[in-house]
Structure 1
Amino acid sequence: MTRTTAAPPDPAPARLSVRHWIDDRLTAAVIGTVKLLPYHRRVPAMGWFFRRVLGPLALNRRIRQNLRHVFPDMPEAEVSAICHGVADNFGRSFIELHSGPDFARRAATFEPGGPGLAALDRAHAEGRPVILVSAHFGNYDAWRSNLSARGFRVGGLYMPMTNPAANARYVATIESIARPLFPRGSEGLSDMIRFVKSGGMLGLLGDHYMAHGELVDFLGKPAWTATSAAKMALKYKALLVPLYATRNPDGLTFTIEVEEPIPHTDALTMTRALNDSASRKVMAHKGQWFWLHRRWKHAPETTAG
């Protein structure tokens, strides 16, 4: 089933307001203060802050709603443990992102693995395009930075923030981790397509709610899902490869796993394979997925047929 509503035009660029400026300055002050700590201390410190302060104040309600939707019979003790894990991982990922060069240097030392890594090596040698698809899981910038350090041309698609001041800071820090980057929407579309056609590896996150997508099961529940990654792979004869960076028990390092490329069939079948891959990863590490998105918005309880 496909949504038939026409896609909305790109929104007009947000204008910097006094509130935007104040919000950004407060956030920058918090980040600057935490960054006075050595890297190996600032990451767990921000995890603690998100777990103990922001979680109860602002995060846990949405996490619980999503968990109850997917796991209605989950015991309360497990729900609470996942809430703690999600907030902790979110906080660590947040400060890792804002520790760009430090984070990138560490990410470069991780040894990627998985059955699909050889396929990436071959695609790089042959100049074949690759669509890399992950999820809001672990820290997705870890694999982007790691593969870039490995010599791969890895581009990333990002969603511009509504606060212009915060967006400028955000783009600067993610560019310090790896480049190039392409803003979602018409502004970055032509550059992104040229990059893919030239044999680049484009990184996408496939677990967003997509109003104009297809209903595809995710974690056993129908969710509106973009099929654009699969369509690009088919159109440009690119490999379609799921991959993930799972946070290790030490809280600072990651296991980067590249899965086998998904066979080219049709866009819906390939998208189902991507959702199944992400679902398996989330089920294995429930506290590392960002249960904060409205992933199942406007979706029925079951898919038709």
Structure 2
Amino acid sequence: MAKQRRGPPEFFENLLVRAILAGALVLPYRWRVPFAGWVVARLVAPVAGYDRRVRDNLAHVCPDLPRSEVRRLMRAVPDNFGRSVIELYSARDFVARAAATPMSGPGVAALQEAHEAGRPVLLVTGHFGNYDAPRAALIARGYRVGGLYNPMRNGFFNDHYTRAMATIGEPLFPRGRQGLGEMLRFLRSGGMLGIVIDQYMRHGAPLTFFGKTAPTALSAAQMALKYDALVVPIYGVRQSDGVSFEIVAEAPVPHGTAKEMTQALNDSLEAQVRRNMDQWLWIHRRWKPERRSA
């Protein structure tokens, strides 16, 4: 986990982010969400280097993608990112929408059975669509859902970011020693724990994502095996109106080896991304340093 910083650069970076958030939050929700997407896609992305990251990642794993599609994704990916951020800071409106969001897929019945039986569940997703939408939708339906998160490097931003996440639902567990004990106690008690698995892990297993080596943490599968937890891939898929979602809960991943289970989770996420290329965070350095060496 990266060490948090609270120097002058982080202070002014946080001021800029807070100003953008404050400007968006004065708008009605239906305008606020696309406005935030537009600001990040058109103003922030070119300056922050997001365009280059999207382009380079696509060149690494989808080299045959047409130029026109690459250019579209250079705008659409940060647009979805901006929408997701402002949705997090719009908890009341976002949660109300999540409560009415339809849930589909074979995992829905499996989640209900696990909830009634008090069996631990790992809800595994990625930086796709809005990954807080499944958590909000399940909490609104009476499920006990906690979240594992990676604290932001900018300490000033992390303070209000974690408060915003908490308004959707608690408990929340920071990645690392600080939250590990509480997280495991929550899981053993029959809770449902939301985890994203698509971040680069330097010491992760050399599994594949989009046909390229992408070091991936095995921790979700290892916890499932240790505590007999159900593993359900789940996604908040953004719909064509740009503000609503469908929650897709796929069939639980059968228990096997930790590597087999985690590769199945990578494959599940990849299939979702291929159907909605603009909804995954191609800004991520998912394949470093493998992409650089290639």
TM-score class, shorter-chain normalisation, is over 0.9
Task: Give the one of 191, 194, 217 matched to 1:226.
Answer: 217
Closer/same/farther in 2, CA of residues 96 and 162 from structure 1, 3 Å limit: same
Distance in 1 of aligned mates of 2:202 and 2:261: 19
SS of residue paired to 1:216: strand
Distance in 1 of aligned mates of 2:222 and 2:84: 30
TM-score normalised to structure 1 length: 0.92
SS of residue paired to 1:203: strand
Per the alignment, residue 213 of structure 1 pairs with 204
Give the C-alpha shift of residue 71 in structure 1: 1.1
Closer/same/farther in 2, CA of residues 11 and 250 from structure 1, 3 Å limit: closer
Contact 2:4–2:154 (CA under 8 A) maintained in structure 1: no
Q: Structure 1, residues 165-197: CA drift from partner, whole Å, max 9, x if none?
A: 211100100000111100000000000000000
SS of residue paired to 2:103: coil
2:96 equivalent to 1:99: no
Contact 2:4–2:152 (CA under 8 A) maintained in structure 1: no
Give the C-alpha shift of residue 12 in structure 1: 5.8
Per the alignment, residue 57 of structure 1 pairs with 47
CA RMSD for the aligned pairs? Answer: 1.6
Distance in 2 of aligned mates of 1:11 and 1:84: 28
In the alignment, residue 76 of structure 1 is paired with which amino acid?
Answer: R
Distance in 2 of aligned mates of 1:271 and 1:167: 28
Contact 1:224–1:299 (CA under 8 A) maintained in structure 2: no
Per the alignment, residue 203 of structure 1 pairs with 194
Distance in 1 of aligned mates of 2:191 and 2:123: 10
2:103 equivalent to 1:108: no
Per the alignment, residue 65 of structure 2 pairs with 74
Distance in 1 of aligned mates of 2:96 and 2:290: 41
In the alignment, residue 122 of structure 1 is paired with which amino acid?
Answer: E
Per the alignment, residue 3 of structure 1 pairs with none
SS of residue paired to 1:176: helix
Per the alignment, residue 4 of structure 1 pairs with none
Structure 1's unaligned 5+ residue stretches are: 1-9
Task: Give the one of 1, 19, 26 matched to 2:16.
Answer: 26
- Aligned runs of 1:114-153 on 2, under 5 Å? 114-153=105-144
In the alignment, residue 86 of structure 1 is paired with which amino acid?
Answer: V
Task: Give the one of 140, 149, 158 matched to 2:149.
Answer: 158
Per the alignment, residue 7 of structure 1 pairs with none
SS of residue paired to 1:230: helix
Q: Structure 1, residues 118-152: CA drift from partner, whole Å, max 9, x if none?
A: 00000000000001100100000011101011111
Task: Give the one of 25, 32, 42 matched to 1:35.
Answer: 25
Per the alignment, residue 74 of structure 2 pairs with 83
Task: Give the one of 252, 277, 281 matched to 1:286.
Answer: 277
Distance in 2 of aligned mates of 1:173 and 1:116: 28
Distance in 2 of aligned mates of 1:11 and 1:251: 32
Give the C-alpha shift of residue 300 in structure 1: 7.7
Distance in 1 of aligned mates of 2:173 and 2:132: 15
Per the alignment, residue 162 of structure 2 pairs with 171
TM-score normalised to structure 2 length: 0.95
Closer/same/farther in 2, CA of residues 27 and 13 from structure 1, 3 Å limit: closer
Per the alignment, residue 45 of structure 1 pairs with 35
Contact 1:215–1:299 (CA under 8 A) maintained in structure 2: no
Distance in 2 of aligned mates of 1:248 and 1:238: 30
Contact 2:135–2:194 (CA under 8 A) maintained in structure 1: yes
Per the alignment, residue 194 of structure 1 pairs with 185
SS of residue paired to 2:251: coil
Structure 2's unaligned 5+ residue stretches are: none
In the alignment, residue 253 of structure 1 is paired with which amino acid?
Answer: S
Closer/same/farther in 2, CA of residues 51 and 18 from structure 1, 3 Å limit: closer
Q: Structure 1, residues 18-48: CA drift from partner, whole Å, max 9, x if none?
A: 4333322232122111111000001011111
Q: Structure 1, residues 272-293: CA drift from partner, whole Å, max 9, x if none?
A: 1001100100111100000011
Give the C-alpha shift of residue 218 in structure 1: 0.5
SS of residue paired to 1:120: helix
